[in-house]
Amino acid sequence: MALLNTTGSAADDDRKLIPASFKIVARYGAGYSTWKSWRHTITGDGNVVKEVFSIKKTRILGDGNVVKNVFGLGTTKEETKLPEDDLRALIAKIEEADFFTLRKRYTHGVTDNPTLILTITLDRKAHEVMVYAPGFLRDDQEVKRFLKVWSEVLRKVPPPNSDQKPDLYLDKP
């Protein structure tokens, strides 16, 4: 259920308000890759939290002056804001893709590939879809619908991997 804006100019009268419950969490797991894994959270007020995950190696001096490598997960966090027009474009892409009718999982029988996860809340309904190894699933019509939403998210909130462009996930002409 969308609410109509009843304030502002006549030109704004037909613009939909962003539902307060609107939220997108986009997660990218890099698999066996040099790319970074990340999570972007977009909320209905336009706030965006961008988190990038990395494995950090720390060398410490252990017992007997032996140097040990300790591995841990490092996280960097950045906050930004999207304008309402970008939020409306995301909602339009979600509706166009009929996101809430997609299955929860799409996978291919390979290992060490990327995982794309979108968790979307809209009009108090939440739905999560995971696509594992999207490069192998490009011909699946439902995966194509998912990738249209995924690409729109990347268009609005660019990922930390410079080669991870929105068009990477769409059909090539």
**Complete DSSP assignment for the chain:** --PBP-SS-GGGTTPBPPPTT-EEEEEEE--SSSSPEEEEEEETTSEEEEEEEEEEEEEEE-GGG-EEEEEEEEEEEEEEE--HHHHHHHHHHHHHTTGGGS-SEE--S-SS--EEEEEEEETTEEEEEEEESGGG-TT-HHHHHHHHHHHHHHHHS--SSTT--GGGGSPP-
Is position 107 within any domain?
A: yes
Confidence of residue 72 (pLDDT cuts 50, 70, 90): low
- Give the CATH number for residue 41: 3.30.1560
Confidence of residue 25 (pLDDT cuts 50, 70, 90): very high
Is position 59 within any domain?
A: no
Is position 56 within any domain?
A: no
For residue 16, the model assigns a pLDDT of 75
Provide the number of structural domains found in the chain.
1
Give the residue carrying structure tokens 């939403």.
149
SS3 148: helix
Is position 126 within any domain?
A: yes
User: What is the residue range of 25's domain?
Assistant: 10-51+82-157
Is position 57 within any domain?
A: no
Is position 21 within any domain?
A: yes
For residue 48, the model assigns a pLDDT of 98
Phi, psi dihedral angles at 64 (to 5 degrees): 70, 25
Which is higher by pLDDT, 3 or 67?
67
| Distance between CA atoms of residues 82 and 30, nearest Å | 25
For residue 31, the model assigns a pLDDT of 92
Predicted TM-score (pTM) of the model is 0.82
Is position 73 within any domain?
A: no
pLDDT in tens, 113-127: 999 999 999 999 999
pLDDT at 163 over 80: yes
**Which of 13-17, 121-125, 136-140, 167-171 bottoms out in mean pLDDT, i.e. has the lowest?**
13-17
Contact 123, 17 (CB under 8 A): no
Give 131's strand partners: 106, 116
**Mean pLDDT of the region 96-101:** 98
| Distance between CA atoms of residues 131 and 139, nearest Å | 13
Is position 60 within any domain?
A: no
Mean residue pLDDT of the chain comes to 87
